[in-house]
Amino acid sequence: MQDPRYQYPRPPFPAQPQEPPGLADRMDPRPDHGEQTYKGSGRLTGRRALITGGDSGIGRAVAIAYAREGADVAIAYLPQEETDADDVITLIEAEGRKALALPGDITHPDWCKALVSKTVEAFGGLDILVINAGHQQFREGVEEVSDEDFDLTFKTNVYAMHWICRAARPHLEPGAAVITTASIQAYEPSEILLDYATTKAAIVAYTTALAKQLIKDGVRANVVAPGPFWTVLQPSGGQPMEKVQNFGAHSAFGRPGQPVEIAPVYVHLASQESSFTTGEVYGVTGGAGIA
């Protein structure tokens, strides 16, 4: 056993500003996505998964976990994140699984449709859809949230989710799973994350409504709502640098979560072990809870 308060690095962390979307390889300390720590047990053998934002952060941890549980994995990411994505593809293939790299911009509906069709073509089908990619940019006041800011956040976090789910729907057979990524921000919004928090609340509502549709055909849909996790989303404009340096200090653990600590939730929701679970929101908030 380990004391979970001290299992991973605790703040303060070095200042480390990056231009968005940022790269995980430049973070200090390096996040643990499970590269050396996640051990699989065949819970997703033969499944075919598509993960957006699979190059870094939570998406990267989920991609590694799925491959080690026996799934073929496609990851969608921005072209600027190619170096991170290359590492993930290598890790998936090291498990003897098929890997598919899908660089592109999910704020364009045609690309959202294409990444689904490319996954189905490469793997012969689609069993697990993980909507995880997100855009977060702090703004101190409502007057600073431009139309361009609002549009980019909603297109990345909400519109893309809808476009991808709509494209994936015909390919999801009974037993398939859809998992979206919300946030504690949906329940306890920060004043500097006005547009981001709004999109995360929308993800909860969208997914719970979608779950009611999909279960009629034997497909489950659930939401994961993370708290403070140490990902590149934070130092690349998601938080002011003074907050990045103390990120997670306010949690019950005195530290942020590492991506590998939330990956098992995505594994559970994709596996047959959660066969009676749909329309649920799983909070992994470091003790803050969701309400």
Residues annotated as part of the active site = 196
> With contact defined as beta carbons under 8 Å apart, do 37 and 262 qualify?
no
Helix 194-214 with 147-154: angle, nearest 10 deg: 30
Query: What tokens appear for 28 in the block?
Result: 């200090």
Kindly list the distances between the CA atom of residue 116 and the CA atoms of 6, 19, 63, 74, 284, in Å, as whole numbers in the listed order: 40, 28, 16, 9, 28
